A = this chain, B = another copy of it.
Amino acid sequence: MSYRAPVRDQLFILRDVLGLDTYANLEGFADASSDTIAQILGEAGRFCEEVLAPLNAVGDKEGCRWFPDNTVTTPTGFKEAYRQLVDAGWLSLGAASAYGGQGLPKVVNTAFSEMASAANMALCMYFGLSHGAYSAILEGGSQAQKDLYLPKLASGEWGGTMNLTEPQCGTDLGLIRTKAVPQDDGSYRITGQKIWISGGEHDLTDNIIHLVLARIEGAPAGVKGISLFIVPKFLPEADGKPGARNGVLCAGLEEKMGIHGNATCVMAYDDAKGWLVGEANHGLRLMFVMMNEARLGVGVQGLSQGDAAYQAAVEFALNRLQGRALTGPKNPDGPADPIIVHPDVRRMLMDSRAVLEGGRALMLWTALQGDLADAAPDEAARQKADDYAALLTPVVKAFLTDRGFKAASDAMQVHGGSGFTEHFPVSQRLRDSRITLIYEGTNGIQAMDLVGRKLALNGGRAVQAYFADLDAAVAEAKDDPTLKPFAEGLASVKAKLQEATLWLMQNGFANPDNAGAAATDYLGLFGLTALSYMWLLSAKAAAARIADGDTDRFYADKLTVGRYFVARVLPDADAHLAKLKTGAEPVMALEADAF
């Protein structure tokens, strides 16, 4: 039942599929040769397997504890493991060297995040959101703010949080009520209640830096009156050490279905001292800096839980003896065959594996776009990478979490009755993974972001370039006998996505409900297309290794799994297209009061 970090597959994707070494001339990539990365991820893998993974079930069973003095303790072992994460420098892989980080590409940090989240998602959330706080301050903070906060957030010495949600206000941030009153010294006094704050209080760090959305007195109504504030738990002294306790406290913890090891806090701000980040009333832009990073991170979480569950299902299926293969005994000397001989068990494992390996490539590909958006040598390449990162972020978030949850559910199914008991790890995987479809914008919100915002940006520049890339990849591969099925699969699903895009352009403007009713199926179709693209690239890379005489069985297996994807996963595309093309009428026909 022990988790194994997918270092082999990550390295294949980084080196062979994404061509990491071809970027060595770019800033930040010089220290990221595939040999170096192999060492880093190898070591990271062991750390995740040995230090983080054993605490995963502990976190689930113990949960966090809240005390009447508004303190929160994390589960047994979390504090020591967190300390090791900080000391070993794992939390600063992707942070800028100017602020004490290791300055590695985001794509490397993403690979680390996958294995760390798989090993212990609840624990990793404590530093996952610190990264978001780091990025928002890096983007919008003053130099003094950067100097004060970034090194400590980068290393993980201090924690960071995102404070958006209030009881009356989730997705609709225009409804925020938390107020900020300007003070003579340039600071603000923040008062209000925030809910569902991950890591809002805990015992892992000396200080917690809350990034808080609030409304400055007299600000315009709605989202145009929202500002972003830094509100430290302890006010830093002149020397940077945590000083006086600020007026923010944890009023309680949520009882949740999963991620019990992470403290989901109700936060009460009562005249807490805070400092504006960036411009007044422009907090939403900075919030989206955090949010976009968090959305990619949640996609990674979804994938990671699915993969960990898949691994547990494989182990179970190889060891559980029950029934005989339909084609004759495979374990004739035993009382029964291992259930992996049964095609329906194999179907579930292959479904998961085909989506998870393709999804891993997509996750790393998208993270690389984020790197290239900064580091690519020419403006056109930077713009294209930035376009792609924006376009694919909602797909990574929603598609990988939907499918990660499905993989966790299928892994439970492989376990049969054992899976429903808490003696096996899949219940926790299913429960933990379920939040990833919800937080940082529900998957429905991701779909609306894709359809309502990302598609139309800059006259559709991103999606047009993407389609052109897909066409080029198909054209290059279609006559290669090994790659032909991959090229044909991609061509077919891309044609459906293009048809859906055209349908949206023709019908979404006429009636915006058509776009709303189509959004989730459109995103599903986009996800299948993006994974098809990744599978074509993966097959090409594997075939090249084989052609070079590499006899590592990994490459042949990669092609086998990819062919399964084309044959048995891609058919979902037709259903998505047919559903979305019905338009809003059937969806909205029943009056609201008839429900």
Q: Does A519 contact B (CB under 8 A)?
A: yes
Instruction: Please state if B588 and A513 are interface contacts (CB–CB under 8 Å).
Output: no
Q: Which residue of B lies closest to A513 (CB)?
A: B343
Q: Which residue of B lies closest to A310 (CB)?
A: B595
Tell me how many residues of A have a C-beta within 8 Å of chain B: 93
Q: Given A342-B516, A568-B582 in contact, is the A322-B588 Cβ separation under 8 Å?
A: no
Instruction: Please state if A586 and B350 are interface contacts (CB–CB under 8 Å).
Output: yes
Q: Does A561 contact B (CB under 8 A)?
A: yes
Instruction: Please state if A335 and B168 are interface contacts (CB–CB under 8 Å).
Output: yes
Stretch at the interface among A47-55, A129-137, A250-258: A250-258
Cβ of A442: which chain B residues have Cβ within 8 Å of it? 413, 416
Report Cα–Cα, A442/B316, bound state, in Å: 15
B-facing residues in A416-456 (Cβ within 8 Å): 416-417, 419-423, 427, 430-431, 434-435, 437-439, 442-444, 447-448
Cβ of A427: which chain B residues have Cβ within 8 Å of it? 256-257
B-facing residues in A543-595 (Cβ within 8 Å): 553, 557, 560-561, 563-564, 567-568, 571-572, 574-575, 578-579, 582, 584, 586-590, 592, 594-595
Report Cα–Cα, A515/B326, bound state, in Å: 9
Cβ of A587: which chain B residues have Cβ within 8 Å of it? 343, 346-347, 350, 564, 568
Instruction: Please state if B512 and A326 are interface contacts (CB–CB under 8 Å).
Output: yes
B-facing residues in A164-191 (Cβ within 8 Å): 165, 168-172, 175
Instruction: Please state if A517 and B258 are interface contacts (CB–CB under 8 Å).
Output: no
Quickly give the copy total for this chain: 2
Report Cα–Cα, A567/B196, bound state, in Å: 38
Cβ of A594: which chain B residues have Cβ within 8 Å of it? 553, 557, 560
Instruction: Please state if B560 and A338 are interface contacts (CB–CB under 8 Å).
Output: no
Q: Does A364 contact B (CB under 8 A)?
A: no
Q: Which residue of B lies closest to A582 (CB)?
A: B567
Instruction: Please state if A592 and B338 are interface contacts (CB–CB under 8 Å).
Output: yes
Cβ of A575: which chain B residues have Cβ within 8 Å of it? 571-572, 574-575
Q: Does A317 contact B (CB under 8 A)?
A: yes
User: How far in angstroms is the closest Cβ of chain B from A354?
Assistant: 9
User: How far in angstroms is the closest Cβ of chain B from A572?
Assistant: 5
Q: Which residue of B lies closest to A165 (CB)?
A: B417
Instruction: Please state if A327 and B513 are interface contacts (CB–CB under 8 Å).
Output: yes
Q: Does A290 contact B (CB under 8 A)?
A: no
Q: Given A175-B335, A431-B257 in contact, is the A417-B343 Cβ separation under 8 Å?
A: no
Instruction: Please state if B420 and A257 are interface contacts (CB–CB under 8 Å).
Output: yes
Q: Does A389 contact B (CB under 8 A)?
A: no
List 30 contacting pairs A-B, 8 Å CB cutoff, sorted by A: A171-B322, A171-B323, A172-B322, A172-B323, A256-B422, A256-B427, A257-B422, A257-B427, A258-B420, A314-B595, A343-B584, A346-B517, A347-B517, A347-B587, A348-B444, A350-B587, A350-B590, A405-B409, A413-B442, A416-B438, A417-B438, A419-B438, A420-B438, A560-B589, A560-B594, A567-B579, A568-B579, A568-B586, A571-B574, A571-B578
Closest 5 CB pairs of A and B: A343-B516, A326-B512, A571-B578, A343-B517, A344-B444
